[in-house]
Amino acid sequence: MTTILLVDDEKMITGPLVNALKQAGYEVLVAHNGRDGLNMALTHNPDVVVLDILMPEMDGWEVCKALRQKSAVPILMLTALGDEIDRILGLELGADDYLTKPFSTRELIARLRALLRRIELDQQRDQTGSLLTVGDIH
């Protein structure tokens, strides 16, 4: 089963979002601060991380940078920071996608599916891109 790590300190968002993601067929892990989110990402190896920016203990910018140094897991930033500079910074720090609050749950799930499709296609290319050696042909 595909695992999504949701890192957000707003419980009014995480509660309904966890239910929606589970209904969509995902296993969901939740962290309510950046430090716990980083630790969970590194220990549980989720398929995708949904990451807020404005959180206690360690903000999403720091989590994204630290996670990128150790993992290629797809990161979708989900945040109230919607200025162009914030979106650019998030993407340049290593996020794969950026969605601002308020948001549509259906759009979030569609974006997660798109990220997961890209991973699956990359894995298929890696498997089929291998060199096949048969030997001498007579």
- Residue-wise pLDDT for 40-79, tens only, equals 999 999 999 999 999 999 999 999 999 999 999 999 999 9
CA distances from 17 to 24, 124, 132 (A): 10, 30, 45
Instruction: Say how many domains are in the chain.
Output: 1
The answer to whether position 66 is within a domain reads yes
CB 64 within 8 A of CB 93: yes
How many CB atoms sit inside 10 A of residue 5's CB? 24
Q: Which domain holds residue 53?
A: 3-128
Output 130 or 7, whichever has higher pLDDT.
7
pLDDT digits (tens, 9 = 90+) for 75-119: 999 999 999 999 999 999 999 999 999 999 999 999 999 999 988
Among 81, 17, 72, 73, CA closest to 53: 81
The answer to whether position 94 is within a domain reads yes
Helix (H, G, I), strand (E, B) or coil at 127: helix
Q: Distance between CA atoms of 3 and 16, rounded to whole angstroms?
A: 17
The CATH code of the domain that includes 95 is 3.40.50.2300
The answer to whether residue 122 scores a pLDDT higher than 80 is: no
**Exposure string over 82-117, b if 16+ CB within 10 A, otherwise e:** eeeebbebbeebbbbbbbeeeeeeeebbebbeebbe
